[in-house]
Amino acid sequence: MSHLQNELLQQFESIVHTRRYLHQHPELSFQEFNTAKFIAQELRSYGIEVHENIGGNGVVGYIRTPNPTKTIALRADFDALPIPDEKNVPYKSTVDGVSHACGHDGHTAALLGVAKVLQNNRDQLKGNVKLIFQHAEEKPPGGAKAMVEAGVLEDVDYIFGAHLASDLPIGTLATRVGPTMASVDAFTIKLFGKGGHGAHPHQTKDSLVIGTQLVNQLQQIVSRRVSPIEPAVVTVGSFHSGSAFNVIADKALLEGTVRTLNATVRKQIEQEIRAILDGFKVSSYVDYELDYLNGYPVLVNHEEQTNLVTALIQQEFGDEAFQIRQVSLGAEDFAYYLQQTKGNFFYVGSHDGTEHTAYPHHHPKFDFDEQALVNIGKVFLKIIEHYLIEEII
């Protein structure tokens, strides 16, 4: 274990304290003003150069060195979710209906711990470290896209990010080469029919009935229009129509998501949805409005950097600690960084076998073994050691 790793271990209590403070004070996507200020203040207290309001509420810490060989970026996200905190813990959220139910508080605390260690040892670095603290990962269009457009990667050679994984035991880490997480699109469909009395359906254009037919037909896109060897999901998650038991609804509202791992399939599904709606307009005599949002792209890990992270995990934790991550149709806006710059996104096991840490991400009782934060930090430090301390350029 290197002296950087030892120094990180000595910071464990401080990292946990930071995580629990953030957990008690969560802020929703695009509203993380106080969280961003907290991060900036922490970085400045370490003596790190700070840039604020990057692409919105994004914060960047910059550790510069003379005559840098490379610039390596490390990223953490810091937004929370509109989910109540139902845990019985001293660090429970103090904001009603809002909680860090995905672990972003942990990601941020881990990277702040790494930042302090690197700043304390900056004289040993051969290159620069850019510490990217990103807002709004949870809500498309997301914070990553805006930060990239603001130029956060312009001088970056490689970028790395981590995510806690409640489905992996503590001490286990995972990643994979290539497509790893799906693209995510969102759609809202408004149907406009003709309402009327429940006793006289022939005088109406029943938006509720037409909406139920639409839901069924949307499901057939994946089962009958997309190749069965291409992973894809079309989910209608919200359906609202009608106001009384004896009134035929004149309007219906449907909201859903599309997930794919293939850009061609992604485009095909959007075209199929539009074609189905055009068909309903003709066959069912309804008008419609479609709001279709192309969200995060497919997250594609680069081979060289993924192989490096795999090797570093095995060196630090042992061969048995590494797993090849299964492809997920969940989404992550870290994908935008990987479209621009080579890098890797890896996963760090966070459950310790107890019920307390067994709940999945986005559950009101989600929590994790805080030792996982040190494991994130260890991998980040191994990456920096490889590129900026040990590697012979």
Q: Which CATH number is 154's domain given?
A: 3.40.630.10
102 known member of a binding site: yes
Active-site option among 32, 42, 85, 137: 137
Q: Are 191 and 251 in contact (CB under 8 A)?
A: yes
Domain that holds residue 63: 3-181+298-390
The answer to whether 124 touches 116, Cβ cutoff 8 Å, is no
Judgement on whether residues 374 and 266 belong to the same structural domain of the protein: no
Distance between CA 272 and CA 278 in Å, rounded? 10
What whole-number distance in Å separates Cα of residue 369 and Cα of residue 344?
A: 23
Is 202 marked as binding a ligand?
no
Asked whether residue 362 is marked as a ligand-binding residue, the answer is: yes
Q: Is the pTM of this model over 0.85?
A: yes
**164 Cα distance to chain centroid:** 11
Residues 120 and 227 in one domain: no
Q: What is the DSSP letter of 170?
A: T
**Same domain for 208 and 229?**
yes
Whether 90 and 118 map to the same domain: the answer is yes
278 with 317, same domain: the answer is no
Which pLDDT value is given to residue 388? 97
Q: 154 and 56, same structural domain?
A: yes
Same domain, 40 and 166: yes
The predicted structure's pLDDT at residue 1: 73
How far separated are the first and last CA of the chain, in Å rounded?
23
Of 108, 98, 91, nearest to 143 by C-alpha is 108
Identify whether residues 36 and 81 lie together within a single domain: yes
Distance between CA atoms of residues 161 and 380, nearest Å: 8
pLDDT in tens, the chain (393 residues): 789 999 999 999 999 999 999 999 999 999 999 999 999 999 999 999 999 999 999 999 999 999 999 999 999 999 999 999 999 999 999 999 999 999 999 999 999 999 999 999 999 999 999 999 999 999 999 999 999 999 999 999 999 999 999 999 999 999 999 999 999 999 999 999 999 999 999 999 999 999 999 999 999 999 999 999 999 999 999 999 999 999 999 999 999 999 999 999 999 999 999 999 999 999 999 999 999 999 999 999 999 999 999 999 999 999 999 999 999 999 999 999 999 999 999 999 999 999 999 999 999 999 999 999 999 999 999 999 999 997 543
* Per-residue confidence (pLDDT) for residue 152, from 0 to 100: 98
Does the annotation flag 25 for ligand binding? Answer: no
Active site residue 79: yes
Q: Are residues 211 and 146 in the same domain?
A: no
Among 266, 294, 322, the domain-final residue is: 294
Q: In the numeric block, which tokens belong to residue 303?
A: 């081979």
Is there a single domain that holds both residue 48 and residue 75? yes
Domain final residue pick, 248, 266, 294 = 294
Q: From 245, 273, 294, give the residue that closes a domain.
A: 294
Q: What per-residue confidence (pLDDT) applies to 391?
A: 55
The one-letter amino acid code at 41 reads Q
163 is in an annotated binding site: yes
How many domains does the chain fold into?
2
Domain CATH for 207: 3.30.70.360
- Other Cβ atoms within 10 Å of 149 Cβ, number: 11
Residue 242 shares a structural domain with residue 345: no
Per annotation, catalytic residue among 79, 105, 316, 333: 79
Q: What angle do CA 197, 201, 206 make, to 5 degrees?
A: 95
- Same domain membership, residue 190 and residue 58: no
137 a catalytic residue: yes
